[in-house]
Structure 1
């Protein structure tokens, strides 16, 4: 057993500073790792501390774990928050990932501004994570695995034991006579992480005794690489970005590797998962390299990437707009369906108005124009992307098309609005 002592002074020194009123929230399952973490934090004087126990309800003995955690926290004089979560039974991500998703969602909910979530991941966990992500084909950012400190919810997440072997934690707990609970799922090799822990890593350690340390060092090196790549992507996006879009010409001027990294970073900024290599290659081929006058779209499930002229747009999938008319009789605003925003005015319309979406063939003589124009011509001249054209509200007054979103209106409509001192605007939603 190597290095059975925890460096409590280093632990206390590494504790991230808290803002006034914030607290360290310690994930406390009652198992060995979190038991050692909680006791070590108490010994170091890191404060204020609150333990958080997530009750998944996946085991028959889960209620007993709550009782155990309550007893430990009472003995230490630490408050305990227990959060009950419901884990989806049938998910594509699998039971392990579903439980993790539910757990972290609950933890986000208990976090207050400036709080620091403290978790007991150790070096053995890091080795398992590197191998798991290697088997999934992760890139450098994924293989960097877990970081000692990362932003989380309205605060941060700290892993103070990430460089500590599990054997050290067990020795430390035994010397102090600590008691902990055992999760039966940690013996079930049907779970890939448990299979790695119980079958693969022991075999690796027999051949390479320091394999956990080697894998942890690899993760640290890749974390530095990922940080450098993130800086490159940030610089590239500053050059490529125009408003909420990216320049297609600018993207094509980059090498494929650099372009793909910038795209992953851009999508992450919007809250979307990074697409895999195959999806990025389809984006290169079908969207970025399409004809200049084409308007291609790539559906990634979670989002859609659309090109119009030199701009690459990203948005959540667009629901279809209804084909029936909407009547605006009362109220100073009208909420439009299918996420198309709303019509806003300072007062209700002076007369009944009908609102519909383009269906083809509509024409309008703009207030500043000489000839009647098709909506297609008006949209093209205004640079409105095709998908937004279909979602642009049209206002009809006395059976005549009078107003086309924020693109054009008729002279009669303009005079009518001036007569009644009434002004209409379209409040566009972020995804329109």
Structure 2
């Protein structure tokens, strides 16, 4: 009823800008017939209509159906378009109540916004301040044809249970509770907006998308730490992690002993602490040493301005104040995979010292160290490719105005480097 009323009003207000989409979850025997009714009503209003079937994954049916529905919306939304939904005041109050019972925080209790601007879409809910009684009266005056989904009365589902059983009990005691709860959601939206301003300050102070400074995090209050961690774990996902998961990250990783190899898997990422920072890593990055094959020996030929890709990233061959002799350009050079125990005489430093020590001093992250390769000609070490750049070694090939590989971008793990491309 509310969706059909919205369809009619949009045809009046925006007759040349409105398209209808009917999402068929294929969960009801009558779902195809309902789609035909929507299509007929849209045709009568001269509106284009899309019938989109979706498959609902197993698990929480209400949540999975919602995800499938929004994925269908994203599929058909064009840049600059707005998704208009018919959620009303009772929907808002039910959402807040159900989230309260699930232990949601301020953001969850803010429920639905009338104008919801997201990264991937903008949603407008023009009925959010209208009661169901007002919508019923309006639909009756217009004589709208609509169907009622029987699952709306199936108390197996949380929202239907709330509407059918809990709602009448509460409303008998608090007749104006629907408007009161909806008003609470608006107040929560104000609070959430203020908290978000603080959160954005903390983001800028402590975090990037995949890295969090634990020293700076520790300067915040406990409440702000939890809020930042929750939002940081959420990343680009729609929902924040549970309170328990945030607590686990704090207790098992952040507060673990300094010498512990602390990590926590929160799908799909791994959260790993190294020194005073917390990292969010994909499985491909954390286990790249197992997943990406790097040859023991790779033969390469270099030319000036050439871009080369090695295990530790992409480099360009350029002239610098000090570098390698031009006589090496075009020659066959060897890239050796680091095996352990190597020593290097870094240009500008006194004496040889273990490559391992240079790696530690450069604070190269443990899960990236397997990408280190050594550039050699005639058993003479020319330098080392690392995720932090190329380290020039002292040798008879070092000259003024010579060439060096210059780092362009960090490690690329989605392909094999066995051919040294």
TM-score range, shorter chain: 0.7 to 0.9
Distance 1:404 1:352 in 2: 13
2:20–2:50: 8 Å Cα contact kept in structure 1? yes
Distance 1:38 1:210, change over 3 A: same
Q: Residue 130 of structure 2 corresponds to which residue in structure 1?
A: 164
1:113–1:154: 8 Å Cα contact kept in structure 2? no
> Once the 2 structures are TM-superposed, how far is the Cα of residue 116 of structure 1 from its aligned partner?
0.8
> Once the 2 structures are TM-superposed, how far is the Cα of residue 400 of structure 1 from its aligned partner?
7.4
The TM-score with structure 2 as length reference comes to: 0.80
From 43, 62, 65, give the equivalent of 2:12. 43
1:150–1:156: 8 Å Cα contact kept in structure 2? yes
Distance 1:349 1:159, change over 3 A: farther
From 81, 89, 94, give the equivalent of 1:123. 89
From 66, 71, 74, give the equivalent of 2:43. 74
Distance 1:48 1:395, change over 3 A: same
2:314–2:408: 8 Å Cα contact kept in structure 1? yes
1:351 equivalent to 2:332? Answer yes
Distance 1:289 1:238 in 2: 22
* Cα RMSD for the two superposed structures: 3.4
1:404 equivalent to 2:361? Answer no
Q: Residue 296 of structure 1 corresponds to which residue in structure 2?
A: 262
2:333–2:375: 8 Å Cα contact kept in structure 1? no
Q: Which moved more, 1:370-379 or 1:35-44?
A: 370-379
Distance 2:231 2:13 in 1: 39
1:321 equivalent to 2:289? Answer yes
1:428 equivalent to 2:410? Answer yes
Q: Residue 5 of structure 1 corresponds to which residue in structure 2?
A: none
Q: How does 1:134-213 map to 2 (within 5 A)?
A: 134-213=100-179
Distance 1:409 1:158, change over 3 A: same
Distance 2:251 2:103 in 1: 22
> Once the 2 structures are TM-superposed, how far is the Cα of residue 304 of structure 1 from its aligned partner?
2.7
Q: How does 1:306-385 map to 2 (within 5 A)?
A: 306-317=272-283, 318-322=286-290, 324-326=293-295, 327=298, 342-345=313-316, 351=332, 353-354=334-335, 356=337, 360-385=340-365
1:290–1:296: 8 Å Cα contact kept in structure 2? yes
> Once the 2 structures are TM-superposed, how far is the Cα of residue 122 of structure 1 from its aligned partner?
0.7
Distance 1:95 1:330 in 2: 58
Distance 1:308 1:431 in 2: 20
From 77, 80, 91, give the equivalent of 1:111. 77
Distance 1:407 1:292 in 2: 30
Q: Residue 418 of structure 2 corresponds to which residue in structure 1?
A: none
Distance 1:205 1:395 in 2: 74
Q: Residue 231 of structure 1 corresponds to which residue in structure 2?
A: 197
Distance 1:410 1:330, change over 3 A: closer
The TM-score with structure 1 as length reference comes to: 0.78
Distance 1:240 1:315 in 2: 17
Q: Residue 248 of structure 2 corresponds to which residue in structure 1?
A: 282
* 2:117 alignment partner, SS class: strand
Distance 1:242 1:412, change over 3 A: farther
1:246 equivalent to 2:227? Answer no
2:308–2:316: 8 Å Cα contact kept in structure 1? no
Gapped runs of 5+ residues in structure 2? 319-328, 415-421
Distance 1:206 1:191 in 2: 22
